[in-house]
Structure 1
Amino acid sequence: MTALHWPPAEPGWVSVIVPCRNEARYIDTFCTSALAQQLPAGWQLELLVADGQSDDGTRERLQSLAAADARLRWVDNPGRIVSCGLNAALQQSRGEVIVRMDVHTEYAPDYIAQCLAVLAETGADNVGGPWHAVPEPGAGPMQQAVAAAFQSRWVAGGARSRDLGFDGWVDTVYLGCWPRRVLAQHGGFDESLVRNQDDEHNLRLTRAGARVWQSSRIRSTYRPRARLAQVFRQYQQYGYWKPFVMRKHGQAAALRQLVPGLFVAALGLALLAWPLAGSGLLLGLLTLYAAAVAAMTGAVAASSDLDRAAVARVPAVIAAYHLGYGLGSLQGWWAVLRGRGPRDRFARLTR
């Protein structure tokens, strides 16, 4: 990659980089949406989709779509995981600006145009919008509950990325858009990480003095998991990979990242102590957590238009978020403290 100055003297190319694997159900809709982006005058778009050895027909659909539109190129990703796919697409891209997209997200028609505008206005090194979870049309009550709980800052521990109206400097941002020079200077994505590669990349940028801006004008909608088991496994992976990021950078954990693991550890200790100390400690912890989940459920219900069936599922979704992340983080810390590498089963994607 060649480092280029920002802003460029005149409009040029925008490269959209996308990892995917086994997305036959979604790939056509995504490519059509991405290629329909409304760019400012003079800018040209290329879409590079890195396929991670799909075996469900995704690759064949990409080949067909690329034959019909020269702006689309598919890239082989033998590493299969997201970070490898992003780097493979990045290596073949030519844009002065790089936009990272995800197949399971839908984008406003001016998504890229707003990214370009916000980059120019703020001088940021990376920009993005809030993480907005929306259930699929006709979704059942479980996916509705998953989306509503996801959007709650109470459930997410106050993460700015869930605040749809926030504009300002942040530590990390959903997806991202960079001047090429930033990636040339700071490198691509860590291919040892199956999850948290975006957070690690932003951490690397901010520790080097780069700045990240979240803008409410950069609008997209994310389609979350539809089954509770999927949510649990997804957040177990998020929790598992976080300690590896912290070990790499010598970073102290934020309180919201520690609480789920500490709670799961406390539950485990209380269960082990039951034969000697009785059930009081365990019941006390469960009662306190049940009260917290009830309060969060009330907040979620008050800020959304969920029906009763969906609201009834919110407590289980919240518990899946917290307990999945907590159990995963304990498993991750156990591996890190023993000087072990990641376990193979946590390298498998969960969707």
Structure 2
Amino acid sequence: MTRLVSVLVPCRNERAHIEAFCADVLRQQLPAGWALEVLVADGRSDDGTAELLQRLAAADARLRVIDNPARIVPAGLNRALEQARGEVLVRMDVHTRYAPDYVARCLEALATSGADNVGGPWRAEGETPMQRAVAAVFQSRWLAGGARSRQLDYDGPVDTVYLGCWPRRTFERFGGFDEALARNQDDEHNLRIVKGGGRVWQSSAIRSAYRPRGSLRALYRQYLQYGYWKPFVMRKHGQPAALRHLVPGAFVLALAGSVAALPFGAPAALPAVLAGAYAAAVLAASLAIAARAGWGLWWRLPGVIAAYHFGYGIGSLWGWFDVLRGAAAGRERFARLTR
């Protein structure tokens, strides 16, 4: 009897990337006895993506297009999940490239670990010089803060994992994705699993490569959104997924507070000391990253590091403001596409 694995793909306005992605996923080499279906939840694309998807689906019966009127990732995942027929569900992202045995390795990790969610390390690889700089910082411990999900050789339990692969029983036990969270819905779902007594597992044999943002503006906006939605996750569960998520916001608050306190007699040197210490740390981190990733990138790295930190920090403070004032839902502006 053939067993079915369903691939869930949220998508909106990806005309330039969707064809290569579909070819990638439809080439997956599955173990004997397994078959594949791919459900792309299109969020009412208006750039030609929807029409191209319909043509691709007409050419390959394994591909199905699902309507996602809410246009955000968690809603797309849930709409695809509702129509998926597989006993195993795998999430894929359009801006990621996958090893030919990606799904097979996911199935293997599920079988050997017995976990409720498995995935591979979050590897970033850039094509343009700016993307390569963004990827180099992304992969560095200076940004990751010790997150095991970015340790490429780590195998074992994690608090969250890139993308994910679940047996259907995981969703029956823990539910689907929270549609109130335009971002961080994957972290929240993994936190829900772990708090509920389940396990999230990383296997270094599951290989993929994520294409990061290609400009400082897009990177800043992306992490502004990630930071903004994190307090909503914390409010829901009464705890952060990890303390490292609090650090950028605390630094931005300290820096802004030291400036705001100047008219009230605070030491004039305090903002300069904080900014200088941060600049020195960023320069040291940039040199360390450039030594590993290539000296041609070094002059881009300080701006990339700052975009990551200040985007996330300012976003998280904005999110905390809305959470503490009792906002029932996040602001729509923090749910818009950032590419």
Q: Residues 213-250 of structure 1, C-alpha deviation per residue, up to 9 Å, x if partnerless? A: 10100000000000001111111111100000010111
Aligned counterparts, 1:86-235, within 5 A: 86-136=77-127, 139=128, 141-235=129-223
Q: Give the alignment's TM-score, normalised by structure 2.
A: 0.97
Q: Quick one: structure 1 residues 268 and 156, their matched pair in 2 at CA, closer, same or farther if it must change by over 3 Å?
A: same
Letter in 1 for 2:116: D
Aligned residue in 2 for 1:330: 317
The counterpart of 1:79, out of the listed 53, 65, 70, is: 70
1:158: Cα distance to partner? 1.2
Is 1:293 the counterpart of 2:311? The answer is no
Q: Residues 196-224 of structure 1, C-alpha deviation per residue, up to 9 Å, x if partnerless? A: 00000001111111101101000000000
Aligned equivalents of 1:33 and 1:53: distance in 2? Answer: 23
User: Is 2:159–2:241's contact at 8 Å kept on the other side of the alignment?
Assistant: no
Aligned residue in 1 for 2:299: 312
Question: Which secondary structure state, in structure 2, belongs to the residue aligned with residue 154 of structure 1?
Answer: helix
User: Is 1:155–1:296's contact at 8 Å kept on the other side of the alignment?
Assistant: no
Aligned equivalents of 2:241 and 2:133: distance in 1? Answer: 28
Q: Quick one: structure 1 residues 165 and 241, their matched pair in 2 at CA, closer, same or farther if it must change by over 3 Å?
A: same
Moved more, 25-34 or 271-280: 271-280
1:187: Cα distance to partner? 1.1
1:150: Cα distance to partner? 0.5
Q: Residues 103-146 of structure 1, C-alpha deviation per residue, up to 9 Å, x if partnerless? A: 0000000000000111111111110000000012xx1x221110
Is 1:18 the counterpart of 2:1? The answer is no
User: 5+ unaligned residues in a row in structure 1: which ranges?
Assistant: 1-9
Aligned equivalents of 1:256 and 1:11: distance in 2? Answer: 44
Letter in 1 for 2:76: G
Aligned residue in 2 for 1:283: 272
Moved more, 289-298 or 331-340: 289-298
Aligned equivalents of 1:11 and 1:296: distance in 2? Answer: 51
1:302: Cα distance to partner? 2.3
Aligned equivalents of 1:204 and 1:283: distance in 2? Answer: 41
1:38: Cα distance to partner? 0.2
1:185: Cα distance to partner? 1.7
Aligned equivalents of 2:115 and 2:13: distance in 1? Answer: 34
Q: Give the alignment's TM-score, normalised by structure 1.
A: 0.94
The percentage of aligned residue pairs carrying the same residue is 67
Aligned residue in 2 for 1:261: 249
Aligned equivalents of 2:243 and 2:257: distance in 1? Answer: 20
1:189: Cα distance to partner? 0.5
1:344: Cα distance to partner? 2.0
Letter in 1 for 2:111: A
Question: Which secondary structure state, in structure 1, belongs to the residue aligned with residue 308 of structure 2?
Answer: helix
Aligned equivalents of 2:243 and 2:75: distance in 1? Answer: 30
User: 5+ unaligned residues in a row in structure 2: which ranges?
Assistant: none
User: Is 1:242–1:332's contact at 8 Å kept on the other side of the alignment?
Assistant: yes
Letter in 1 for 2:271: L
Q: Residues 299-329 of structure 1, C-alpha deviation per residue, up to 9 Å, x if partnerless? A: 211222x242x21010110011001100000
Question: Which secondary structure state, in structure 1, belongs to the residue aligned with residue 183 of structure 2?
Answer: coil
Q: Residues 246-292 of structure 1, C-alpha deviation per residue, up to 9 Å, x if partnerless? A: 10111146331111111101111111123433530011001110111
User: Is 1:129–1:220's contact at 8 Å kept on the other side of the alignment?
Assistant: yes
Aligned equivalents of 2:84 and 2:70: distance in 1? Answer: 18
Letter in 1 for 2:173: Q
Aligned equivalents of 1:219 and 1:253: distance in 2? Answer: 24
Letter in 1 for 2:38: L
Aligned residue in 2 for 1:237: 225
Aligned residue in 1 for 2:238: 250
Q: Quick one: structure 1 residues 266 and 251, their matched pair in 2 at CA, closer, same or farther if it must change by over 3 Å?
A: same
Q: Residues 154-211 of structure 1, C-alpha deviation per residue, up to 9 Å, x if partnerless? A: 2121111111000000111000001111112211100011100000000111111110
Moved more, 288-297 or 46-55: 288-297
Moved more, 118-127 or 250-259: 250-259
User: Is 1:143–1:224's contact at 8 Å kept on the other side of the alignment?
Assistant: yes
Aligned equivalents of 1:22 and 1:307: distance in 2? Answer: 35
The alignment of Structure 1 onto Structure 2 pairs a total of residues equal to 337
Letter in 2 for 1:314: L
Letter in 1 for 2:277: L
